[in-house]
Chain A
Amino acid sequence: MTAPPDVATDDAAVIEQSWHEPERFAVIYDRYFPEIYRYVAARLGRDAADDIAAETFYAAFRKRDRFDPARGAVRPWLYGMATNLVGRYRRDEGRRYAALARVAPESRADGHEARVAARVAAEGVRPQLARALAGLSDGDRDVLLLVAVGGLRYEEVAQALEIPPGTVGSRMNRARRKLREALGGTDPTHAEENSHG
C-alpha cells in the first residue's frame, strides 16, 4: 500500500470511505499494524501482541464512525486505543517488567545498528530500567511509552490519551526524572537514535 503524500488527510478520507465500504479499513490496517504491534509487544510481549494488536484495529473499526478528524490524526487515535487495551493488562505488564529486570536477555533479531547500540546500553542498566518502568504510575508510563516506543509527539500523545498537552509534558518530566533516579547517575547513553518502525 503506497501512502499518498498527505497521509493524515488521506487516512481520514479512508475512514470516511469505510463508513460505506467497510473493507476500505484494511488500508488503515496495512499502514499501521506493524507499528501498533511493535508498541503493544513492547509493553506486553509478543504473545499478547499477537492478539491485542489486531484487537486494536477491530475496536477502531467498530468506532470508525466516531473518528473526528478535527480532533487529530488517525495514527494517535490508534495508539490511544492500543493504550486502552494495554491498560486492561496492567498486571501482565508489571510482570513483564519484573521478568525483564531478572531474566537473561534472549537474542533477538535486530537489524538496525543504532538500535543494537541502544540495546547494548539498555542491557547494561536493564534491571534498574525495568524496575523503574514497573514503578511508574499508569498515566506516566503511558505517556513515556507513547513517546519512547510509539514515537508520538506531545500533541499526539495528548490526542491519544485525551488529556491536555500540558499534562503530557508534566507526566513525561516526572517519568524521565524517575528513570534518571533509577539509573542512579550511570550514563549508558551511547545511543543516538530512536527511530521505530
Chain B
Amino acid sequence: MDDMRDDTSLVAALLDEGGPSPRVAAAGREGLLELARTGGREPAHQSGRRRGRRAGRWSGRLRGRRPLGIGLCLVAAGAAASVAVAAVGSGGAAPGGRSAPGPREMVLAAAVQAERQADGRYLVTHVRDCHAEPVEAETGDYIVQPCDETWQWRARDRADESAVWTRDLGARPQTARDEALWKRAGSPRTFPYHQDRRALPDLYRTAPTPWKEDRGDRNENSDRYVLPFTGRSLTAEELRNLPTDPEELEKLLTPAEDSPRGRRDSRLPTGPGQKIVQATLAVSDLPLPPKVWAAFIRMLADTPGVRAVGWVTDPIGRPGVALEAPRTASATGGGTSMERAIFDPGTGALLATVSTVVRRGPQDPAVYRPGTVEHYEVIIKSEWTDGRPSRPA
C-alpha cells in the first residue's frame, strides 16, 4: 500500500481543515449529554441540522452568496423547503365568486377552509423545486431552469417511519427568449454550475432522472419535529397542541434571541418578504393540524409589509390567492426580490412559493432581469392518508 500513500496523502493535505475548536467540541458534548438525559430525544438546539439532504435547493434562493461551507441553518432550511407544507390536501377548487371579496378576505377565507381539513396518519407530499441558472454563451447568455422533485411521506406521530424519493426533471430554457438563445448556442444538453464552469461543467442536464429513494433517509423521521430558523423543535404531542392564535404562533416561529441560529440569521436577507420565506420554511416540514395551519395563514396576512394580491396562477397553472412582500439580500451585492406565497382558496393549502427579481444586485448574474423568476417551489401534492404509503406513482 506504500505507493498509495502519495495519492492519498495529497488528498488529505488538500482537504485538511484541522480539528474542532474547543468551543465546538464542548457544545457537541453538551448536546450529547442533553440527549442522554432526555432519553434519546433530540436536543432542541441541534435538531434542525439533520435535514440538509438537499442543500442544492439553495442554489437558487441564495444565488451563491455563500458558495462554500454554507451555514448549516441555511442548508437545513433549504432542505425543509423541499418538504411539502400544508396540513391539508390540495383540491382544485374553482375560483368562483371573485367579484365580492378583496384580496385579503380571499386569503383569510382560505384560512377558514384550512381549518376544515381533516388529517390522517401519514402526510404524503410531492414538491417541485426549480431555479434560474444563468448560462454563458458566445451567441448570447440565457437562463435554464433545473428542477428537481421530492416525494416523501412521514408518519404523523410515530418516529422512525418515513421515506424520501427524489428525481431531476431535466433543465429547460426558462422563457421563449431563453429557448431561442439556447438553440442558437447549439442546443447543449448539459450546463455548468455558473459559479464554477470548469469544475462542474455538466452539473445540470436536459435529461431527467428516474425516481430514486434516498435510502439514507429511510425511517429517519425524528421523534421531534424541527422548526427551522427558530432553534426550536417539538414533540408530536406539542405539534398537535400548537397555538391556533396567530400571535402566539408567531412567537414560536420567531428565532430565539440567544440561539446560534439567531446569530447566523444576520447573514440572511431582510424585509417582509424574508418573513414569508422564513415562516414558510419553518412550518414546511411539519404535519401541522388544520387549525394551526389556518393560524399560520392569518399570521402571514397580518405581517406588516405583507400584502394580499388576490387571484394568481401558480407555476404549474393552478389558480390560487396570494400574499407577497419584497425581500432584500443583506449581503453586499444582493438585489431585491418579490416573495410570494400562493394558497389554494378551496383548502387553504400552500400551493407554491415564488421568488421573482425586482432589482438585480451587482453580484447577481447579468442575465437576471426584473421579472425573472429566480426560484420557485410547487407543492404538487400534500395529503393525509391513513394507509401506509409506498412509492411515487
The chain A residues found within 8 Å of chain B, CB to CB, are 18, 22-23, 25-26, 29-30, 33-35, 37-38, 41-55, 57-59, 61-62, 84-85, 87-92, 94-103, 108-110, 115, 118-119, 121-123, 125-126, 129-131, 133-134, 144-145, 147-149, 176, 179-180, 188-189, 191-194, 196-197
Give, as a whole number of angstroms, the nearest-CB distance from A57 to chain B.
6
Q: Is the CB of B17 within 8 A of A38?
A: yes
Residues of B within 8 A of A148 (CB): 7-9, 11-12, 15
Which of A23, A58, A189 is close to B43, meaning CB atoms less than 8 Å apart?
A: A58
Report the Cα distance A147→B15, complex, angstroms: 13
Q: Is the CB of B43 within 8 A of A37?
A: no
Q: Could you write out 19 A-B pairs with CB less than 8 Å apart?
A: A22-B40, A35-B19, A38-B19, A46-B18, A58-B35, A62-B42, A94-B200, A98-B67, A101-B196, A101-B199, A122-B10, A130-B199, A131-B199, A133-B11, A134-B200, A148-B15, A191-B13, A192-B9, A197-B19
Give, as a whole number of angstroms, the nearest-CB distance from B20 to chain A.
4
Q: Is the CB of A99 within 8 A of B28?
A: no
B window 55-94: CB within 8 A of A: 55-56, 59, 67-72, 75, 79
Residues of A within 8 A of B6 (CB): 189, 191
Give, as a whole number of angstroms, the nearest-CB distance from A146 to chain B.
10
Residues of B within 8 A of A133 (CB): 11, 15
Q: Is the CB of A61 within 8 A of B49?
A: no
Given contacts A57-B32, A148-B7, 20 further A-B contacts (CB under 8 A): A22-B36, A25-B32, A29-B32, A37-B24, A51-B46, A58-B35, A62-B42, A85-B50, A90-B56, A91-B59, A95-B193, A102-B196, A108-B17, A108-B18, A133-B15, A148-B11, A148-B12, A179-B11, A188-B10, A196-B12
Contact A34-B33, Cβ < 8 Å, known A45-B68, A125-B10, A149-B11: no
What is the interface of chain A mostly: helix, strand, loop, or mixed? helix
Which of A42, A101, A179, A189 is close to B15, meaning CB atoms less than 8 Å apart?
A: A42
The chain B residues found within 8 Å of chain A, CB to CB, are 4-20, 24-25, 27-29, 31-33, 35-37, 39-40, 42-43, 46, 49-50, 52-56, 59, 67-72, 75, 79, 193, 195-196, 198-200, 203, 216-217
Q: Is the CB of A42 within 8 A of B19?
A: no
Closest to A105 in B: B14
Q: Is the CB of B32 within 8 A of A45?
A: no
User: What 4 A-B pairs are tightest by C-beta distance, nearest first?
Assistant: A54-B28, A45-B69, A22-B36, A91-B56
Residues of A within 8 A of B4 (CB): 147, 176
Q: Is the CB of A29 within 8 A of B69?
A: no
Closest to A190 in B: B6
Report the Cα distance A80→B203, complex, angstroms: 26
Report the Cα distance A110→B19, complex, angstroms: 10
Which of B5, B16, B46, B200 is close to A98, meaning CB atoms less than 8 Å apart?
A: B200
Q: Is the CB of B72 within 8 A of A47?
A: yes
